[in-house]
A and B are shown apart, each in its own frame.
Chain A
Amino acid sequence: MKKGTKTSYLLKGTPSILLVLGAGFVMASSTDIRAALGMGAAVLIAMLLSSIVISALHKIIPAYAKLPAYLMIITGFVSLISMFMQAHFPNVVEMLGVHLATLAVSAVVYRDAEEVADHNGEATSIKTALVTGIFFTVVMVVCALIREFFGAATFWGKPIAFMQDYKISAIAGAFGGYLVLAIVMAIINKITKLHHHLDEEEEN
């Protein structure tokens, strides 16, 4: 395997497209690390399970019924995850609110099902779902760390004493969501370009 293939696969081409589609739930769940981890796990599991089922069934589902069938499969798994989280992590579900349910119609999960699981076998679908899910979780946790530390002066919900006088509450609010994700995305862009540059140099 070529050195750095895994990182390149994660960062080449897909992040900005994926993040545009998932920007809503990334910003909504990055106010708290617990919420970010909960949403990350929900996205990962929903994508993984729906990818497995869709890649197994895509040949027997007629083309005209693909949209409703895929949406129902995804919604079923999201409902299951929501019920599981409600039973074991009620605080996280409360933090996520309606965003956990709206994962059912998220373009990220649907597009993954439509573009990857619909054309590939289980192995490729599982790999893509895992990589995308982990990528989203990492982005959400990084954004949550920044927003919680600078915006609310807390970590894992517990106050940080020395930051109390310096917190910027706007970062914990809606504007902070856009600002922090923009900065994180710019850093990802920089790393992606660096990787492209290194790959080109390696090829030459």
Chain B
Amino acid sequence: MDLKVILGIVLAGILSNNYALLHFLGTGAVLENERSSRRSLTLGLGTTLVMVISTLITWPLNTYVLAKVPYLQTMVFVLVVLMVVEIIHVIAKNILDNYCKSDFVKFAINGAVLGLCIHNTHDEFVTAIVTSAAVGIGFMLTMTVYAKLKSTLVDEEAVPPTFRGLPIDLLTAGMMVLALLALNFKF
């Protein structure tokens, strides 16, 4: 796999293949996020790590074991994700607890991680790993930018009362989607 392809996958992970904004996977985790940019970045990095390690385990499992029992795919994948999240949490407990107030475990088990593991089963192994890292970076950037946008740009007082809360959050995310779609046309 040459550098051009890797760069293409990374760009796609951030733009056209953005899980949280365009595929609606892990959107709840992003919309719910009210942490500072630094905390969001730490959580995003942790989630990226979970995505890559989970793919490293689920891809061979799916190819060599689950091919004969496909109905167990979701259960096995959830178990693997859960295990990976717990192991990362145990290893990096101090860092994660300082930055994420110990909510890493519940945060990292989200639709984006499981959806990515399932999507990756259709790709080659190396492509799947690069895609996981790219999607993770896209997820991390989305979360950080959205947290920053929400805390600095949205003035709740200026918003009509009925649009305060979730509606204005959704419209903010919608504007990010429009920006991503515009960038997709550009590239």
On A, residues with C-beta under 8 Å from B are 16, 19-25, 27-28, 67-68, 71-72, 75-76, 78-79, 82-83, 98-99, 101-102, 104-108, 110, 173-175, 177-179, 181-183, 185-187, 189-190, 193
A-B contact pairs, 20 of them (CB 8 A): A16-B165, A20-B28, A20-B169, A23-B24, A67-B106, A72-B75, A99-B24, A102-B25, A105-B110, A105-B113, A107-B110, A174-B21, A179-B171, A182-B166, A182-B174, A185-B166, A186-B162, A189-B162, A189-B163, A193-B161
Nearest CB on B from A85, distance (A): 13
Judging by beta carbons under 8 Å apart, are B169 and A189 in contact? no
Residues of A within 8 A of B178 (CB): 175
Contact (A67, B105) CB under 8 Å given A23-B31, A28-B24: yes
Contact (A20, B171) CB under 8 Å given A28-B24, A107-B29, A177-B24: no
Residues of B within 8 A of A82 (CB): 74
Nearest CB on B from A18, distance (A): 10
Judging by beta carbons under 8 Å apart, are B27 and A185 in contact? no
Question: Is B79 part of the binding interface, using a Cβ–Cβ cutoff of 8 Å?
Answer: yes
Nearest CB on A from B49, distance (A): 17
Question: Is B123 part of the binding interface, using a Cβ–Cβ cutoff of 8 Å?
Answer: no
Judging by beta carbons under 8 Å apart, are A175 and B177 in contact? yes
Contact (A78, B74) CB under 8 Å given A24-B27, A68-B82, A105-B114: yes
On B, residues with C-beta under 8 Å from A are 21-29, 31-32, 71-75, 78-79, 81-82, 105-106, 109-111, 113-115, 118-119, 161-171, 173-174, 177-178, 181
Contact (A181, B118) CB under 8 Å given A68-B82, A174-B177, A186-B162: no
**How distant is the Cα of A179 from the Cα of B27 in the complex, in angstroms?**
14
Residues of A within 8 A of B163 (CB): 182, 186, 189
Residues of B within 8 A of A185 (CB): 165-167, 170
Residue of B whose beta carbon sits closest to that of A15: B166
Q: Contact check: which of B26, B74, B181 meets A104 at CB < 8 Å?
A: B74
Judging by beta carbons under 8 Å apart, are A21 and B28 in contact? yes
Residues of B within 8 A of A190 (CB): 162
**How distant is the Cα of A27 from the Cα of B26 in the complex, in angstroms?**
12
**How distant is the Cα of A198 from the Cα of B66 in the complex, in angstroms?**
56
Nearest CB on B from A19, distance (A): 6
Judging by beta carbons under 8 Å apart, are B75 and A102 in contact? no
